[in-house]
Amino acid sequence: MTSQRVHFYQVGSFAVGNRLLNEEERTIQAQADRTNSIDSGHRACQGCGEALGARYALDAAMRATNGQVVAVNATGCLEVFSTPYPETSWRIPWLHSLFGNAPAVATGVAAALRAKGKKDVRVVAQAGDGGTVDIGFGCLSGMFERNDDVLFICYDNEGYMNTGVQRSGATPPAARTATTEAVGPEPGNVFGQGKDVPRIAMAHDIPYVATATVADLHDLERKVERAMEFHGARYLHVLVPCPLGWGSPSSETIHIARLAQESGLFPVFEAEYGVVTSVSHIRRPVPVEEYLSRQRRFNHLFGANPRPDIVAHLQAMADENIARYGLIAPEMEHSS
């Protein structure tokens, strides 16, 4: 399967993607017979990127497997807001065990299904960035290394939002969190080496690794469907803005996710067996300021005491991504 041919860009106008597409090209989410894996009524915040991403991802997985999905969930926002018992939003079999063990629990589910000969039932494990890049990382790497038949989805909102916006290994440099306050000479999160889990996943040579954002839900659905065509360990890393933690209006979630991609700070690509096979090119390049200045967590870089030095450092990171993945399409480079 090659990448999606239809180039339709949501631009923040009133244009709604599906309305402009042929029926067969519309999202799974637009279909009346979608599973509705995560039902309405859950307790996610308004504008929650994770709720949106999970709904699209799981319904796509359900479509791809003819309704045969078991979901495993790490502790975190998604777990807490979806199961305020006696209510549950899950219309698919769903198991939550602990914060750091979702990949291993999913391995166990897959092993049991194999032992029982239930070949058609597939396993999707999900966690936030904390449950993926930090506390769940050992189990995740083990799951990758053994090539266990699990699609692991990380909904990355770049911090521990459920516990009150603390720093995680996925928090970007300079971002303010409750444990990296915007004070002192180097306000916000440190500039470290970062923990780029999609690239670490690729280093395991697993069948499929992809990144996506909630700004391009067609792309997210397509990647989930693609992932379900493989057996073995697969990893999908979805950027999901968090209005609460990022300090952005609820109505801006999609826009900010798009700016993360178009600034080059969040590269969107897919890889098979450790090799990048496609890249979502930046359609309208923007400087990182456009992305950063819309979020309160980066307020200290602008305003009365601006820090152009830090912004430049972040721009350099974006430029590095652009160069590494070739995020600017060749034809665009000519025209610019």
321 contributes a contact to other proteins by CB under 8 A: no
106 contributes a contact to other proteins by CB under 8 A: yes
Q: Which of 83, 147, 166, 299 binds other proteins (CB under 8 A)?
A: 83
Residue 327 · residue 283 · CB < 8 Å? no
For the CA atoms of 261, 259, 284, 190, the dihedral, rounded to the nearest 10 degrees, stands at -70
- Minimum CB separation of residue 131 from other proteins in Å reads 12
Q: Which of 5, 19, 23, 85 binds other proteins (CB under 8 A)?
A: 85
- Minimum CB separation of residue 234 from other proteins in Å reads 17
33 contributes a contact to other proteins by CB under 8 A: no
332 contributes a contact to other proteins by CB under 8 A: no
Q: Which of 111, 178, 190, 312 binds other proteins (CB under 8 A)?
A: 111
Paired tokens of 186: 């180097």
Which has the closest alpha carbon to 206: 113, 103, 281, 114? 103
Distance of CA 121 to the CA centre of its chain: 24
88 contributes a contact to other proteins by CB under 8 A: yes
Considering only the stretches 102-110, 169-177, 214-222, 308-316, report the one whose residues sit in contact with other proteins under the rule CB under 8 A.
102-110
Q: Which of 28, 44, 69, 206 binds other proteins (CB under 8 A)?
A: 69
Q: Which of 105, 161, 174, 271 binds other proteins (CB under 8 A)?
A: 105
Strands 275-279 and 269-272 turn out to be antiparallel
- Minimum CB separation of residue 138 from other proteins in Å reads 6
Q: Which of 21, 30, 98, 332 binds other proteins (CB under 8 A)?
A: 98
- Minimum CB separation of residue 91 from other proteins in Å reads 6
d(CA 73, CA 221): 19
138 contributes a contact to other proteins by CB under 8 A: yes
Considering only the stretches 114-122, 248-256, 281-289, 290-298, report the one whose residues sit in contact with other proteins under the rule CB under 8 A.
114-122
Q: Which of 21, 45, 80, 182 binds other proteins (CB under 8 A)?
A: 80
H, E, C per residue of 136-199:
CHHHHHHHHHCCCCCEEEEEECCCECCCCCECCCCCCCCCCECCECCCCCCCCCCCCCCCCHHH
Considering only the stretches 62-70, 168-176, 245-253, 296-304, report the one whose residues sit in contact with other proteins under the rule CB under 8 A.
62-70
- Minimum CB separation of residue 68 from other proteins in Å reads 5
Paired tokens of 61: 């997985």
Place of tokens 């009365």: 304
Paired tokens of 317: 């990171």
Q: Which of 139, 151, 153, 327 binds other proteins (CB under 8 A)?
A: 139
113 contributes a contact to other proteins by CB under 8 A: yes
152 contributes a contact to other proteins by CB under 8 A: no
CA torsion through residues 215, 217, 221, 223, sign: negative
d(CA 142, CA 162): 26
94 contributes a contact to other proteins by CB under 8 A: yes
List phi, psi (to 5°) of 168.
-120, 175
Paired tokens of 206: 């697993």
119 contributes a contact to other proteins by CB under 8 A: no
Strands 94-96 and 122-128 turn out to be unpaired
101 contributes a contact to other proteins by CB under 8 A: yes
List % helix, strand, coil for the chain (3-state, nearest 5).
40, 15, 45
Positions touching other proteins (CB under 8 A) are 67-70, 72-73, 79-80, 83-85, 88, 90-98, 100-101, 104-117, 121, 138-139, 141-142, 145-146
